[in-house]
Structure 1
C-alpha cells in the first residue's frame, strides 16, 4: 500500500513519516529559482517520491509569460518520450493476459499479412523486445515527425509505410533510437487490445491511477491548458506555436502524453510500488513489469556521461530497457528516461533500491541552457532524497559543465540578407513536387521568382537558396522558424537536388534523419488524398529505374503486373500494401 496527498509538501506525524516530512525543501526551492533565472527557463514542474509517499509536488516560474500565469503543481506540460514507458507498461499488461503472445513473439505472427519492414529478415523475426529496446536498426528519421505527417494518415497507414524505410544498421547489432518503432509497438497494442492506443492507456493506466489531468496532446481540445512553449531568441524568451504539438500524430505511442507534477507523482508511485494502484490492487503483473526495467540493449559511451575524477560524481548510461534506460548515478542503479517535444523537456528518474523517484519538466527553451538547468535541478532533487552531499552549488549550477568541462559558446542566427540567387540556372527548373513512399510529398514553389519555398509535412515551410546548382540551404519561416533561427539552433538545413544524365532535376535529397545520409524524394511522385501514388510526365526508362527500388529482387516485375489502360501504366508494387503507380505513357511507344 502507499499513500497520496494533494498537498505540495506532504507532512506526516510520526516515526518514518515524521522523518520523511522533516526534509527542508526551502533551500532546494531557492536553488531551483536561482537556476531557472540564470538559465532562462520560463517554467518548471517538480515531483519527488520516497518510500511510497509523495513528498513534494510544485510548480516554478511561469506557465505563460504574456499573461504572467504561474506554473503550479497542476500545470500541464508535454512529457514527450516519457510516453514510451506508458507504451511498454501497457504492453506488459496486455501480454500478461495472453497465453500465446510474449515479448519475443514475432510481430508478423500478430499483424499477419498487414506487416512488412524493409527486408525479409526483419519482417520475419522482429519482435516487441526488439522494437521497445531500439534494436531494429531503422534510423530515427525525426525530421518527418518534426514537420508532421498529414492528419489523415492513420496509425495503420503509418505502420504500412515502414516497409519503405530502409534499415541502416544490422538487425539487433546496435542501439538505434526510433520513435517509428514505438508507433509500431502502439499499433501492436491496438491489435492485441482491440481498441486504439489512447483508449487502452486511458482505461488500463490513467483511470486506475487517478491521473485525471493526464492525456494526449494531439487530442487536447484547448491547447491553452498547456504551459506555453518558449525558445531563446537574442537572449530573450519567445513563445512558439502550441499547435506544433499536433505534429506528434500519428506517433502518439512514442511521445504524445501531457501531464502535471501531481499526476506524475502517481505514475512514480505506481512503478515504485511494483505495478499496484493507490489501493494496493495490481494493475500490471510485477513479473511482466519488471522485464521493462531490465537492460535489453547496451548503449555506447555517451558524451553526456560524467566520470570521476573530471567530475565530482559518476553518472553513466549502461543500456536501454523497454521504455526506460538504466544508468548508474553516484553508485546507485537509476531507471530513467528523458522526453522532449517542441520545446518541452522532461526527465524522470527512479532509484528502485532506494524507493525514490524524481520528475522534472520545463516548458523551454530549446537550447543547451535548458539541458544544463535540467542536469542541475534533477541532480539536486535526487541528491536530497538519496541523502548525498549535493555536487552542484549555486555557482556551478549556472556555469555547468564548467568548471569541469568547457561549455559551448552560445550561437546566434546568421544574417538572412546574405542569401541571394547566385547561380545561372533558373528557379523554374527546381519547381515541382517530390515524393517518398514513407514520408510523403515535398513541394518546391516560388511566388516572386526571386526565392524558392520548400514545404514538407503539416508544419514544414522554409526558404531555400543555392550554394551551387545542386546544393541548397534552407531556413524555416513558418511555425518551425526556431529550428534554424533560435539560440543554439542556427545551422541551415542542407538539401541536394539530383540531376539526370541529361541534366534535368529529377530528385531531391532531404535530411529526414538529421544524423545520417539524406533521403531521396523522387520528382513527380505524388501522394494524393486517395492515398495512391501518381508519377506524371516522366519517361518510361525513369519508371523502370524507380520500380527497381520498390520491388523485391526475388519478385521481379512481369508483364502480368504491368498493364496500360487509357494511357496510364499501372504497377502493383506488392500484395502487402496495394498501391498503383500511374505513369503517363504518351512517350513510351
Structure 2
C-alpha cells in the first residue's frame, strides 16, 4: 500500500508539473517578448529626459502611462510626498481635473445605451428634467440638448462658485434650478464657451436617468466593470493629503509647499473635474476607449453608435483659445486643433488624428492623448507646481513619447523641454498695463458699502473695512477693493488664499483685477455687481439660502422673474 501511495504521489506530482511547465514557459515567453519593448520605451535615455524635464520645470512628481496595442507601460517619477520622501509609483493617485469630463460623457453613453425611453444625445433637457430645468431664455430652455451641454455650446457664463466654495446643503438638483440665472455671454450654439457648470448639469442628468448619485453611478457603471479599482472621486479635500495620493505642491517664495487643503473641494461640480486615479487604472481607461467601449474582458458597455458620437467634433475652436497653435512654419511640426465634443478635443498631429484633453485642479495638471487609428494612448499627471511650467513639462514629454510611438523623428529635446515654446515662439505673456481707473482715485466713505450681499449663483459676499481699506470675502476667497476715479466703482484684487493669487498671475507678475460696482439707495449700497466678463448681481442682506432666494426655485416659474424685476428696478431707481 505504501508503494502504491508513493507511486500515486509521483504520478500526481508529474501531472502538476505537466500543467505548470507550459504556464511557466508562457510567462517566460511573455517576459521575453515584453521586456525589449519596455526597455525601448523606458530606457535610460527616456528616464533621463523625463527627470531633467521635471527638474527644470520644478515638477515634484509625475505619473506616466502608455498604451500601444496590447502593450502597456506605467511608471512613476519624482516625489509623491516631499516630507517623507515617498516616491510616485504606478498606484499613486492624482487628481485629474477636467479629464473627468470624458468619464461623465461615457457614463451618459452607458445610461443611454440601456434606457428604454428613447433618450439620445439630441434629447431636450426640458424633456428629461421637466420643471426642474430652465435657462435664461425660452429658446435655450426648449432647445438645449445633451449634445449642447457636453460640447460647451450653450453660450452661457461659467461661475467662480466652486472656487469660492458653495455652502453645505446644496444639491445638484438645487443648483440646476439656479442655472436659469446664468447670463448669456455668446449666442446659443454659435461658439465655444467652456463651462464647468454644464458638466455639473450633465452629472445631474445622469442622476435622473440612473436613479443614483453621479458618484455611485460612475463607480458602478464605469470604474468597476472597466477594472479601475483604485479610482475614486474627490469628495473630501483631506483625500489629497492621505493614503497613496500624490500631495499637491505649489511654489511659494521660491519653494514647493503644500497649499490650502479646502480648495480641493469643488462640490457640486465633481462631474466636471474631481476624479482621482493612477497610471495603472488609466491604462485600463485608455484601452476601454481605444477598444470602442469594450473592457479588457471583452464586455461591451456602450452601443457603438452612441459611443462613436462621443468623439465627434461639435464645436469648432478659435485658434486664439490656445496660447500657441503648433503649426508650420513657426514650429517644425503641426498639431492643428479642430474642435471639441463630449469631453474630448480633436487635433491632427503630424497628420495623425488625436483626441486629447487637459485637466487642472489647483496644483494638479493632467493630460491625455489618444491616437485611435494606431491604438496609442498616453496619460500623464503632475502634482505641481500649477504654473505654465507643469504644462510645459507634460507637453514636452507627450510630444517626445508620441514621436517614439509613431516612429517619427523627434523634434523636441531636453533643451527645448525646458524652454518651450522657445526657440520657436515667445512664451505667452499677459501684457502689463496700468489701469486708468486707479489713477487719482476718489476717497469713498467706506461705511456705506459694508454689509452682506447674496447671489443665487455664488456664495455670499461679505464687505468689511480694515482702516482705510475696503475688503471683500466670498467664502474661501478674499481680497481688497481698490477705489477708482469713478464713484462707487472698485477694482477687486484677490489676496488669499495664496494659491489663487498665484493662479491668477498666469503669464504675468501681476494679479488680474476685476471690477465691482456698488448700486446705491440714497447713502447706502443696496446691491453690487461683480463684473467677470459678465455681471453677477449680489443683493444686500440676502443670503444664498434665504427664503427670498428660495422663492426663485423651480416650484415657482414666476419667482425668478420677480427677482430679476426687483434687481432691475433697484438699478433703474439709482
Interval of TM-score (by shorter of Structure 1 and Structure 2): 0.7 to 0.9
Partners in 1 of 2:209 and 2:556 — Cα distance? 30
Matched, 1:184 2:201: yes
Aligned with 2:383 (options 357, 363, 372): 363
578 and 210 in structure 1: CA distance in 2 versus 1, 3 angstrom threshold: farther
Following superposition, the deviation at residue 73 of structure 1 comes to: 1.5
Matched, 1:393 2:413: yes
Matched, 1:278 2:262: no
Q: What are the within-5 Å matches in structure 2 for residues 64-463 of structure 1?
A: 64-99=81-116, 100-141=118-159, 143-219=160-236, 222-225=239-242, 226-246=245-265, 248-302=266-320, 303-408=323-428, 423-446=442-465, 448-457=466-475, 459-463=476-480
SS for the counterpart of 2:235 is helix
SS for the counterpart of 1:208 is helix
- Aligned residue for 2:55? 37
* Preserved contact between residue 365 and residue 384 of structure 2 (Cα < 8 Å): yes
Partners in 2 of 1:488 and 1:11 — Cα distance? 55
481 and 575 in structure 1: CA distance in 2 versus 1, 3 angstrom threshold: closer
407 and 420 in structure 1: CA distance in 2 versus 1, 3 angstrom threshold: closer
Following superposition, the deviation at residue 219 of structure 1 comes to: 4.3
Structure of greater Rg: 2
235 and 391 in structure 1: CA distance in 2 versus 1, 3 angstrom threshold: farther
Paired residue total: 526
Partners in 2 of 1:107 and 1:43 — Cα distance? 41
* Greater than 6 Å deviation, 4+ residue runs: 409-412, 419-422, 575-583
Of residues 424-433 and 177-186 in structure 1, the stretch that sits farther from structure 2 once superposed is 424-433
60 and 493 in structure 1: CA distance in 2 versus 1, 3 angstrom threshold: same
Partners in 1 of 2:29 and 2:354 — Cα distance? 26
Partners in 2 of 1:11 and 1:38 — Cα distance? 40
Partners in 1 of 2:449 and 2:342 — Cα distance? 44
Partners in 2 of 1:58 and 1:495 — Cα distance? 46
Partners in 1 of 2:339 and 2:155 — Cα distance? 16
Partners in 1 of 2:343 and 2:386 — Cα distance? 23
**Root-mean-square deviation over aligned CA pairs:** 3.1
Following superposition, the deviation at residue 496 of structure 1 comes to: 2.0
383 and 151 in structure 1: CA distance in 2 versus 1, 3 angstrom threshold: farther
Deviation string, structure 1 residues 316-367 (Cα, Å, up to 9, x no partner): 1101021111111111000111111112110100100000000011111121
Following superposition, the deviation at residue 306 of structure 1 comes to: 0.6
* Preserved contact between residue 57 and residue 389 of structure 2 (Cα < 8 Å): yes
* Preserved contact between residue 573 and residue 579 of structure 1 (Cα < 8 Å): no
* Preserved contact between residue 311 and residue 342 of structure 2 (Cα < 8 Å): yes
* Gaps in structure 1 of 5+ consecutive residues: 1-9, 536-549, 552-570, 584-589
TM-score (norm 2): 0.84
- Aligned residue for 1:574? 558
SS for the counterpart of 2:543 is strand
462 and 162 in structure 1: CA distance in 2 versus 1, 3 angstrom threshold: same
Partners in 1 of 2:431 and 2:381 — Cα distance? 24
* Preserved contact between residue 197 and residue 253 of structure 1 (Cα < 8 Å): yes
518 and 387 in structure 1: CA distance in 2 versus 1, 3 angstrom threshold: same
Deviation string, structure 1 residues 471-506 (Cα, Å, up to 9, x no partner): 233232236453457984631432322243746433
387 and 490 in structure 1: CA distance in 2 versus 1, 3 angstrom threshold: same
- Aligned residue for 1:533? 549
Partners in 2 of 1:297 and 1:288 — Cα distance? 18
Partners in 2 of 1:18 and 1:449 — Cα distance? 68
* Preserved contact between residue 79 and residue 361 of structure 1 (Cα < 8 Å): yes
11 and 218 in structure 1: CA distance in 2 versus 1, 3 angstrom threshold: farther
TM-score (norm 1): 0.82
Greater fraction helix: 2
421 and 64 in structure 1: CA distance in 2 versus 1, 3 angstrom threshold: farther
Partners in 1 of 2:70 and 2:41 — Cα distance? 19
Of residues 498-507 and 122-131 in structure 1, the stretch that sits farther from structure 2 once superposed is 498-507
- Aligned residue for 2:525? 505
Partners in 1 of 2:439 and 2:275 — Cα distance? 42
390 and 487 in structure 1: CA distance in 2 versus 1, 3 angstrom threshold: same
98 and 579 in structure 1: CA distance in 2 versus 1, 3 angstrom threshold: farther
Partners in 1 of 2:76 and 2:231 — Cα distance? 16
* Preserved contact between residue 78 and residue 257 of structure 1 (Cα < 8 Å): yes
Of residues 87-96 and 483-492 in structure 1, the stretch that sits farther from structure 2 once superposed is 483-492
